[in-house]
Amino acid sequence: MASPTRKSDALCLAGAALLAALAIFSLFCGRYPLSPAGLLAGDEMQWRVFWTLRVSRTVVGVVGGFALGAAGFVYQTVFRNPLASPDVIGVSSGASAGAAAGILFLSGAAAVTASAFAGALAAVGLALGLSALDRSGRHGTVVLAGIAVHALAQTVLMCLKLTADPERELASIEYWIMGSLNGISGYSIGGSLTLCAVCLAVLFLLHRQILLLAAEEGEARMLGVEVGRLRLAVLLAATLAVACVVSLSGLISFVGLLAPHGARLLTRRNDRPTMLLGGLLGGVLLVGADILARSVAATELPVSIFTSLLGAPFLLYLIVRGRRHP
């Protein structure tokens, strides 16, 4: 019988192989046909589409899905809540409000991306700042602060929608909120993906401390862990990674919930390989959903339609399972 460590390693290798296969397929899937023969023949138009659109889109799908899955693992571990996700800090709502402001008052896709990132960052800073006012160090304070920030960002978003042009700006805001990898180009992803990679590296370097946060706070303090500061640092890194993703892709539903749960169901453990597998499954979910979004209909559909089709039934399953096994 294989040891748990070998099983986890094998699952990570299988997840990496599946993600690589989907990424390669994604490079050649889309409205404009590409082929290896055309690329090898030096077709200028095919190479332009390949480098400026397909590669950047696939890279964002892989890295973004990985970040959402890994961040979801961190949130569920830190909050000791199987239903926790990056949304609890208000990052998605802040990014939505920022993107809406960018669409209304700025011009260009890069400006909207920067505005969405600024909105997400402002939401993170406000939520963590409010939670820091509670000196007791209770982890539930961060959740309450996130709920308050979410409500504030939603109010700002509704006010911006009221001032938007119903025929152009409002439609753009709604499409951004639904989430899509369409239109991502290599010229606008470098800074966001670099910061996302740095945040992911920090999370994996702190994986032992993250697992300690899953224990009782008294036990963690006895082991010399500064629980309050460590929790804020870990949540900041995880949320910044998510903010980088949603500033590029819009809101992607359920990946941060589904991927870490799927990893735990496969490994039956809560360790670094499970965190890695959660990231790989997040990449598989996002890249797979993006392939479906541009394949099943004549016009491209929002990615969140397909992630929600998987996520909503899985959420119901978790609720029913929690009632049966409290």
Read off the pLDDT of residues 110-141 as tens digits, 9 standing for 90 and up.
788 788 888 888 888 888 788 778 766 565 67
Can you give the pLDDT at residue 82?
A: 74
pLDDT greater than 70 at residue 92: yes
Tell me the pLDDT of the chain averaged across its residues.
Answer: 84
What is the band of 247 on the pLDDT scale with cuts at 50, 70, 90? confident
Can you give the pLDDT at residue 137?
A: 55
What is the band of 325 on the pLDDT scale with cuts at 50, 70, 90? low
Can you give the pLDDT at residue 159?
A: 92
What is the band of 287 on the pLDDT scale with cuts at 50, 70, 90? very high
CA distances to 59, 94, 147, 152, 161 from 282, rounded to whole Å, are 13, 22, 25, 29, 31
Question: Is residue 8 within 8 Å of residue 269, measured between CB atoms?
Answer: yes
Looking at residues 296-309, what average pLDDT do you find? 85
Give the domains, in start order, of the chain with CATH numbers. Answer: 4-324 (1.10.3470.10)
Burial 205-231 (b: 16+ CB within 10 A, else e): ebbebbbbbeeebeebeeeebebbebb
Whole-angstrom distance, CA of residue 35 vs CA of residue 40:
9
What is the band of 73 on the pLDDT scale with cuts at 50, 70, 90? very high
User: Residues with Cβ < 8 Å from 195, sequence gap 6 or more?
Assistant: 240, 241, 244
Question: Is residue 120 within 8 Å of residue 252, measured between CB atoms?
Answer: no
pTM of the model: 0.86
pLDDT greater than 70 at residue 150: yes
Find, among 309, 314, 174, the residue nearest to 251 by Cα.
Answer: 174
Share of the chain above pLDDT 70, in %: 91
For CA atoms 260, 64, 237, 313, give the dihedral sign.
negative
What is the band of 210 on the pLDDT scale with cuts at 50, 70, 90? confident
Find, among 35, 29, 36, the residue nearest to 58 by Cα.
Answer: 29
Find, among 36, 63, 32, 26, the residue nearest to 49 by Cα.
Answer: 32
